[in-house]
Amino acid sequence: MIDAAKLACDALHLTPLGKQYTGDDTLMCALSGRLMSEGDWIAPFKPTSGFTDDMFIVARSGVVSGYVAAIMQGPVLIRTQRGVFCAAGAYSLAKDDDRAWLFLNPPAPPWVAVAGTSIGQHLIWKTPVTVDNAIMQIRVGQENVVVRRTVLDAVLAAIKQERLDNPGFTNGFMSLDRDMKAPNHGIPRTDLPAHLSALYASLTRGEIWALAALAKAKAVTPNTPEKLSLTRKQNENQD
C-alpha cells in the first residue's frame, strides 16, 4: 500500500520526524493505519485537547509514522490544505484553474490530492492514494470523493452541447459550491432536459464537486499550477 503521508513528504522534500524503529513487533500508525516494522520512522503520538479527529484514530498504539508526524506540524499542515502531491512535486489546488488541470491533465500516478474546506484540517493521512487516473480519489474537507474521468468527460460534453443548443443554459444545477457546503449544491434544476437529468442522477459527489470548477459560465484554463514549497524553517520541522 502506498503511503499518502510519505508521498506528500517526498513531494515537499520533507524529512520524517521521530526515529527509526528498532523493535521486533509490528506497530500500527495510530492515524494512517500503516503497519510499521524495524527501520521505519516512528514518532510518539498523544492527542492534545485541540485534536478534534479522535473518531479517525484507528489504533491506540501511541505512535504515528514519522511521515504523518511531519505533515501534522502546524506550518506544514496549513501549507498543505489544498494541493496535489506526486513524484514531480507538490502543486496548488487553490484556484479553479488548478483544479481544472487536475481533472483534465492530471499528473502521472501515484498522487494524493486534498482540498480543505476550513482552516487547519488534517487531510493527507486520511486520503486514499490515486493509482489510476481513470478513477481519481480526492479528499474534500471531511469527505473522500471519487471522480471517474470517463463520466466527467461525458457530462462536460453534454453540457457543451446543451449550451450550443440553448444559449441561456449554464450548467443545470441550482448551485455548484467548490466547498460542497451550500444547501442546494449539486441539486439539478427542475427545468433540466430529460437526457441531462438521467446523466446527472448517475454522478458521484466527487464528479459534481469537479463541475464546480469545470462547468462555470466563464471557462477555466487547465494550466499547470504553481508549485507548493516550504520555507527553510518549515522544512526543518520547526513549529
What is the model's pLDDT at position 49? Answer: 85
DSSP 117: S
SS3 state at 114: strand
Burial class (CB in 10 A: 0-12, 13-18, 19+), 60: exposed
Q: In what order do the strands lie in the sheet with 41-44?
A: 19-20, 41-44, 63-65
State what percent of residues in the chain have pLDDT above 70.
96
Residue 184 backbone dihedrals phi, psi, to 5 degrees: -105, 20
pLDDT tens-place string over residues 124-170: 999 999 999 999 999 999 999 999 999 999 999 999 999 999 999 99
pLDDT tens-place string over residues 32-48: 999 999 999 999 999 98
pLDDT tens-place string over residues 46-105: 998 888 999 999 999 999 999 999 999 999 999 999 999 999 999 999 999 999 999 999
Estimate to the nearest angstrom the gap between the alpha carbon of 26 and the chain centroid. Answer: 29
pLDDT band at 236 (very low <50, low <70, confident <90, very high): low
Which residues are within 8 A (CB) of 173 and not within 5 positions of it... i.e. 6 or more apart? 185, 186, 187, 188, 189, 200, 208, 211, 215
With cell 443545470, the residue in question is 172
Element (H, E) at 111: strand 111-115
pLDDT band at 235 (very low <50, low <70, confident <90, very high): low
Residues 30, 92 contacting (CB under 8 angstroms): no
pLDDT tens-place string over residues 179-224: 999 999 999 999 999 999 999 999 999 999 999 999 998 889 999 9
What is the model's pLDDT at position 239? Answer: 40
Q: How many Cβ atoms sit within 10 Å of the Cβ of residue 160?
A: 11
Q: What are the Cα distances from residue 232, in Å, to 40, 75, 120, 235, 238?
A: 25, 11, 21, 5, 9
| Longest alpha-carbon distance in the chain | 68
DSSP 144: E
Residues 20, 39 contacting (CB under 8 angstroms): yes
What is the model's pLDDT at position 233? Answer: 52
pLDDT band at 226 (very low <50, low <70, confident <90, very high): very high
pLDDT band at 238 (very low <50, low <70, confident <90, very high): very low
Q: Cell for 34?
A: 500503516
Burial class (CB in 10 A: 0-12, 13-18, 19+), 30: buried
Residue 139 backbone dihedrals phi, psi, to 5 degrees: -95, 120
What is the model's pLDDT at position 230? Answer: 85
